[in-house]
Amino acid sequence: MSRTVYVNGEYVPEEEAKVSVFDRGFLFADGVYEVTSVLDGKLIDFDGHAKRLERSLNELDMDMPMGRDALLDIHRELVRRNGIGDGLIYLQVTRGAADRDFAYPEGATPTVVLFTQAKPGLADAPLAKEGMKIISIPDLRWGRRDIKTVQLLYPSMGKMAAKAAGAHDAWMVEDDHVTEGTSNNAYIVKDGTIVTRHLGNEILHGITRAAVLRFAREAQMQVEERAFTLEEAKQADEAFVTSASTFVMPVVSIDGVAVGEGVPGPVATRLRDIYLEESRKAAI
Ligand code: PLP
């Protein structure tokens, strides 16, 4: 059955949705996006995603195309029209269509697109019990990874390299230190302390990361926000990643080296349970 998607103010069947060939998202990757998860028909961490969208747009001299409440209405309407129980909502805002020129055009109308992806059982992914195998790759992305732009070719290449190596994903490494996963934030646990890279331009400021660190501190767990090396990660007791679509996902091996016991660890498992429980309670 065809989905209903949102394009520039209209709800249309996906086959009829159209964006200009001159759209700067298409020509220059001049656009930003957000992915919000849906559990039991409700949105997880919506306000965090709306705030980060505004920040990403501001960094690129673009305005929010609409206020928080209008954005929320569209998310909810898409959930309703597409009968989403568990799934994801993808949102993209580009600078709009204009004759091709590197300089930002004056007065272009932003393009706003949202669509749903149904993912029944999203919170019960079998991988959470099994744990992810990851490989390491150099971080060859641009220097403003804090802006959630649609230029995702290098992360795609990373996922393909992981697949070719029989792994689930890749962590990116710069100056011997792990930055983040191709589409998630990276963590290790050593002697009970959770370590994850500090915020800066080198990583995306994950919305799930912010929530998980808050829950970890509330549960009296030790947290250190600092860069860690790949070597440290291989010798850690546990490792895991966070993102809106995977929540908290344990990592059990890095470049073929087992992390800890080589099975999902107690800290990652507990944080996943806490995150899911608290997020479901706060879902809107
Ligand atoms: N880091 C990168 C590079 C990502 O692409 C993502 C999500 O897409 C994340 C981290 C996790 O961010 P969030 O928790 O907001 O989904």
**pLDDT tens column, 118-128:** 999 999 999 99
Which tokens belong to 57? 């747009």
User: Which residue's CA is the nearest one to ligand 1's atom 5?
Assistant: 183
**Three-state DSSP class for residue 75:** helix
Average pLDDT over residues 222-234: 98
Which residue is catalytic, options 42, 51, 129, 148?
Answer: 148
Q: Is the pLDDT of residue 196 over 90?
A: yes
**With 80 as the cut, is the pLDDT of residue 267 above it?**
yes
Q: Which atom of ligand 1 is nearest to the CA of 207?
A: 15
- Mean pLDDT over 112-116 rounds to 98
Q: What's the pLDDT score for residue 277?
A: 98
The Cα–Cα gap between 28 and 99 comes to 12
Average pLDDT over residues 63-67: 96
Q: Where are the beta strands (DSSP E) in the chain?
A: 4-7, 10-13, 31-39, 42-43, 87-94, 111-118, 132-138, 169-174, 177-181, 185-190, 193-196, 222-225, 238-243, 247-254, 257-258
Q: How many CB atoms lie within 10 A of CB 49?
A: 23
- 148 noted as active-site residue: yes
pLDDT for 165: 98
Contact 244, 47 (CB under 8 A): no
Distance CA 181, CA 29 (A): 21
pLDDT per residue over 73-96, tens digit each? 999 999 999 999 999 999 999 999
pLDDT at 236 over 80: yes
CB distance 196 to ligand 1 below 6 Å: no
Q: Looking at domain 4-120, does it have CATH number 3.40.980.10? A: no
Question: For the chain, first and last CA: distance in Å?
Answer: 26
Residue 218's pLDDT band (cuts 50, 70, 90)? very high
Distances (CA, A) of 36 to 42, 141, 215, 283: 10, 23, 19, 11
Q: Which of 207, 183, 200, 185 is nearest to 51 (CA)?
A: 207
Q: Select from 204, 208, 240 the residue to mutate for testing ligand 1; criterion: most ligand atoms less than 8 Å from CB.
A: 204
pTM of the entire predicted model: 0.97
Please choose from 137, 153, 185 the residue to mutate so as to test ligand 1's pocket, defined by most ligand atoms within 8 A of CB: 185
According to DSSP, the β-strands at 193-196 and 185-190 are antiparallel
Q: What is the pLDDT of residue 259?
A: 98
For the domain made up of 127-282, the CATH class stated in words is alpha beta
Ligand 1: residue of 36, 37, 56, 184 to mutate (most ligand atoms within 8 A of CB) is 184
The Cα 19–Cα 23 span in angstroms is 7
**Domain spans in the chain, listed from the N-terminal domain onward:** 4-120, 127-282
Is 90 exceeded by the pLDDT of residue 1? no
Is the distance from CB of 283 to CB of 39 less than 8 angstroms? yes
CA pseudo-torsion sign 164, 165, 167, 173:
negative
185 CA → ligand 1 middle, Å = 6
Q: What is the mean pLDDT of the chain?
A: 98
Share of the chain above pLDDT 90, in %: 99
Model confidence at 18: pLDDT above 80: yes
Q: What is the pLDDT averaged over residues 124-146?
A: 97
CA 204 / ligand 1 centre spacing (Å): 6
* Centre of ligand 1 from the C-alpha of residue 110, in Å: 23
